[in-house]
Structure formats: C-alpha cells, structure tokens
Amino acid sequence: MKDLTVGKEGKLILMFALPMLLGNVFQQLYIFVDSIVVGNYLSKGALTAVGASFPIFFALISLGIGLATGAGVVISQYFGAKQYLNVQKAIDTMYIILLSSSIIIGVIGILFIDEILAIAKLPDGITPSAKIYLTILLAGLIFDFGYNGTAAIFRSIGDSKTPLYFLIIATLTNIILDILFIKYLGMGIEGIAYATLISKAGAFFTAVIYISKKYDFFKINFIGIKFNKEIFFKSLKIGLPSGFQQMIVALGMMAIYRIVGKFGVSVTDAYSVAIRIDFFGMIPAMSFSMALSAFTGQNVGAGKFDRVKTGLKSTILMSGVISILISIGVVSFAKILMGIFTSDNEIILIGTDYLLIVSSFYFIFSVMFSLMGVYRGAGDTLFPMLITLVTLWLIRVPLSEYLSRIYGEKGIWVALPITWASGMIISTIYYFTGRWKKKAVVKMKNKIIN
C-alpha cells in the first residue's frame, strides 16, 4: 500500500511502474511460450488459431476489463481522499459486477461461438482449432475477470508489487503445464487453453486470500459482500467507455486479421508471431501508463493537479527513453526473434518486415499511452474511447485496406505507425484544453456513500 500524493513524482511513478513492468513481462512470457510450443509442436496454422482467437476473446471480455478499470479509478480516488469506508464498498460492488458479468458473457460466448467465428473469417481449416481454444477460455472467464479485478485493487491502493508475485507463479505454472500437456501428454490446442485457465484460476484464488489477510481497513468476503448502487453507477460511468474502448480495439484487431487473411496462412502465422513480439515491445509504455493512471487517480482525489502535470512529464521521459532502446533492440534482432517461434523461413521473413516497420515507432506509442494514463486516472475515460474509435476505425482499418492493395501485406504494417502518430497529436491537443480535470469522481473530501 502506497500513498502517491506525497513524495517525488518521477521516483514514485518509476518504483510503482517497475513491478507492473516485470509483471507484464512475465505475462507476455507465458504467451510467448504458448506460441513457441504451438509453433514447434503443432501443425501449421495453429499459430493463427491461437493468435486470431485473442482479439475475439478480447472483444468478449472487454466489458469486464472496462468495469475493472472504472472500479479501480473509483477506488484510487477514494483512497487518495482517505475515504476508506467507501473503498470497501467500491471493492464489494466491483466483485459483484465482475463475477456476474463473467458468467453472463461466458455463457453467451459459448452459445454463439460459431456465429462469432464466422464474423472473424479465419483462413480455411483454422476455425475448428480456434473454436476449441475459445470455448475452454470462455468456460473459465470468471477467473480472468476475478484476477483482473483483484489486480486493479492492488494498483489502486498503491501496491504494484503484490500482483507481480502472483503473476510470476501463474506464469511458471502456465509454462510447465504447456510443456506437460503438449509435449508429454500429446494434447492439441486444447492443452494450451487448459494451461492458461488453470494458471489464471490459481492466481485469482491466491490473490484474494492474500489481500483478505493483509489489509485491515478492507476485506474480501464473498459471503457478506454488499452491492452499492451509487458506487456502481460511478464505476459504470467511468468503466463503460473504457470497456467500449477495449471492444473497439478488439474488433479492430479482428478487422485487421481479415485483411491479413487475404494473403494466406503464412502471412497470418507471421503476423500472429510478430504482434506477440510487438506487444512485448510496448509493455514499458503500457506499464508506465498504468502507473501514471493510479498516480493521477490518487492525486486528483487529493486535489493535487500540479503533481499530475509533473508526473506526466516524468513518465514521458522515462517511458520514452526505454521505448527508444527497445526499438533499437527489436530492429537489430528482428529476424532472430522471429526464428525463436518457427523454423519456416517464409514466416520469419514476413514477420521480420513487420517488426522493422512497426517497432521503429514505439516512442510515439509511449507518449500517446502516457497521456491516456492521465485521462483514465482522472476519470475521463470517454475521450480515450473516442480517440480509439477515430484512429482505429477511421484511420488504421481503412488505411490498411487501401495500402494493402498497393503494397501487399507491408501496407498493413505501415498503417499502424501512422495511426499512433495521429492518436498522439490529438491526445496532446486535448491535454492542453484541461477538460480532463473536471471528471473527478471525488467531489467532497469527507463524503461517505450510504
């Protein structure tokens, strides 16, 4: 637990971001292992089945992610205002929302899985494997929502280290089970899904037990849990735009996969691997953004907007420097990185082209995400949703379609940095309008929600 309203801004954000950075690295590590095992032990096309399933799964869980984000902002601002009774009520309400919605979304997803996959238009022969993989993940959706919500609680009260420990355990468990299920038990793609499900369930239960025993001013007790309508609507007001934003991103990823799919299985396999590496390269920017969001939430709750401004400058500097270094590394070793996942030379060369083009622009991505961290922490989640809608659906998807007709799959790769640059410019302009300062949840320092 850490009070982020006092102390040197840059140092606080850095120390808060580092555990999340390591946690995201470990999370991506087991996704890497998934892809390595699939690429080396399962048939060609399995990489696409796993890779293309991600945006579909992400679209289905986006509401839960948004609600967890909204509740996290509410919790952090109440914590910053020292309203601990409201913190407990917000946590109770968050769990009721997340656990209920996970069951509803999981059931709907499984019932309509064929229709959902039909929309995705995967390459021939990929759909059966993707259906198996998605069905298993959806059956365990309650663990996914539960862990994300619990991690949001830790971050909101200034504790970014504890989720890291549970994530490390989950990652190691997932890696061991991947190898066991695929290499030694001869399971197919369902082995990857079961390994993921089991590791997330373990992380969720251990995190809940720990948080209940660690902190005295709030507890997680599913028997005596209480719903608070006012806090629910506060969380909904913040969380729904964030959830819709995640859904917009996921649907955009599905649209890009449809464009990529026109070029055949080798290109979709290469894309599936390259975006894994690409996402790994974006981890620092996302981790600093999450840290800045928690920092902003607490300081907005305490009415300290000058600290938010200083924190943003420090975050852009730190995140930007790291992003530039990662860009240099990925560009220098792009072909080697692709070779870790597959021995197919065609896939390696196509993926290398993607990494050379996209990874050169991580700095732009880091600036954009830093600004988004401020907006979310302040409770202004509507603007990030709108900017995502505009840049993704009015710029990236149409531009990818257009450029792919002229330059082939390379045109799709080029469209992404152009999208980032557009988002950064619009986000910067919005920051200087100051409208995000008016979105705070906490208006009265000593108000208690009944």
Tens-place pLDDT, residues 385-440:
889 889 999 999 999 999 999 999 999 999 999 999 999 999 999 999 888 887 76
Give the pLDDT band of residue 323 (cuts 50, 70, 90).
very high
**How many other C-beta atoms are found inside a 10 Å radius of the C-beta of residue 7?**
12
- CA dist., res. 18 & res. 368, Å (int): 19
pLDDT for position 449: 47
Share of the chain above pLDDT 90, in %: 30
Report the run of H or E that residue 424 belongs to, with start and end: helix 409-433
Name the more confident of 37 and 316.
316
Name the pTM for this structure. Answer: 0.72
CB 228 within 8 A of CB 449: yes
For residue 337, pLDDT beyond 60:
yes
More confident residue, 241 or 266: 266
Class of residue 175 by CB neighbours under 10 A (exposed 0-12, middle 13-18, buried 19+): buried
Query: Tokens representing 365?
Result: 């991505």
pLDDT at 229 over 70: yes
Question: What's the pLDDT score for residue 220?
Answer: 67
pLDDT of residue 43: 61
DSSP 8-state symbol, 434: T
Q: Would you place residue 2 in the very low, low, confident or very high pLDDT band (cuts 50, 70, 90)?
A: low
Q: What is the mean pLDDT of residues 127-132?
A: 84
pLDDT averaged over the chain?
84
Query: In this structure, are residues 42 and 188 in contact, taking their beta carbons and an 8 Å threshold?
Result: yes
Q: How far apart are CA 214 and CA 103, in angstroms?
A: 28
DSSP character at residue 440: -
pLDDT at 45 over 70: no
How many Å apart are CA 240 and CA 269, to the nearest integer? 33
Q: Which has the closest alpha carbon to 252: 50, 397, 54?
A: 397
Given this model, what pLDDT does residue 447 score?
46
User: Which of 221-225, 251-255, 329-333 tops mean pLDDT?
Assistant: 329-333
445/276 Cα distance (integer angstroms): 44
Phi, psi torsion values for 299, nearest 5 degrees: -75, -30
Amino acid at 73: V
> Which of 42-51, 84-93, 312-321, 342-351 has the highest mean predicted lDDT (pLDDT)?
312-321
> How much of the chain, in percent, has pLDDT values that exceed 70?
90
Pair 2, 159: CB distance under 8 Å: yes
Distance between CA atoms of residues 2 and 91, nearest Å: 17
Q: How confident is the model at residue 219 (pLDDT cuts 50, 70, 90)?
A: low
pLDDT of residue 443: 53
Of 238, 155, 157, 230, the closest CA to residue 439 belongs to: 238
| pLDDT winner (highest mean) among 48-62, 114-128, 154-168, 305-319 | 305-319
pLDDT of residue 222: 66
Residue count of the chain: 450
The confidence score (pLDDT) of residue 66 equals 78
CA contacts within 13 A on the Cβ side of 159: 18
Residue 53 has pLDDT above 80, yes or no: no
The confidence score (pLDDT) of residue 216 equals 67
In the predicted structure, residue 297 carries a pLDDT above the cut 90? no
Six token digits for residue 24: 């995201």
pLDDT at residue 441, rounded to an integer = 62
Alpha-helix residue ranges (DSSP H) falling in 302-408? 305-332, 334-341, 345-358, 362-377, 382-389, 397-407
Of 9-18, 327-336, 377-386, the least confident: 377-386
Confidence label for 448 from pLDDT (cuts 50, 70 and 90)? very low
| Position 446 pLDDT exceeds 60 | no
Q: With 80 as the cut, is the pLDDT of residue 36 above it?
A: no
Banded model confidence at residue 90, pLDDT cuts 50, 70, 90: confident
Mean pLDDT of 324-352: 92
